[in-house]
Amino acid sequence: MNSNKSHSSVQETRVYQIEDRIYERRKLLRFKAITGNIVQNALKTLDEICVEEMQGDKSSPSRMEKYSLLHHYLDYLKRFCEGKV
């Protein structure tokens, strides 16, 4: 009888561990989805700024280089959130 109780306790522990993993996985997926959405909006805004900058008279090469680098970082983060990295 004691071994049945012990076996049941082990099973309950495993169930709780699985439930915890599922919960943590869902939290991570939700975080990645929200982050991905924010990055997508940031990339869109950055592209709009770039278009405005290129239409202006004082477009500087260093500013365009910084834009390109920032775009690269955001794009990487977006792909990471989508699971493509």
Percent residues over pLDDT 70 in the chain: 92
Query: Mean pLDDT over residues 19-42, rounded?
Result: 93
pLDDT of residue 80 exceeding 80, the answer is: yes
Query: Mean pLDDT over residues 6-19, rounded?
Result: 88
Query: Mean pLDDT over residues 64-70, rounded?
Result: 88
- Expressed as residue numbers, the domain containing 56 is 2-81
pLDDT of residue 46 exceeding 70, the answer is: yes
d(CA 57, CA 5): 79
Let me know how long the chain is: 85
Q: How many domains does the chain have?
A: 1
The answer, as to whether pTM is greater than 0.95, is no
pLDDT of residue 49 exceeding 80, the answer is: yes
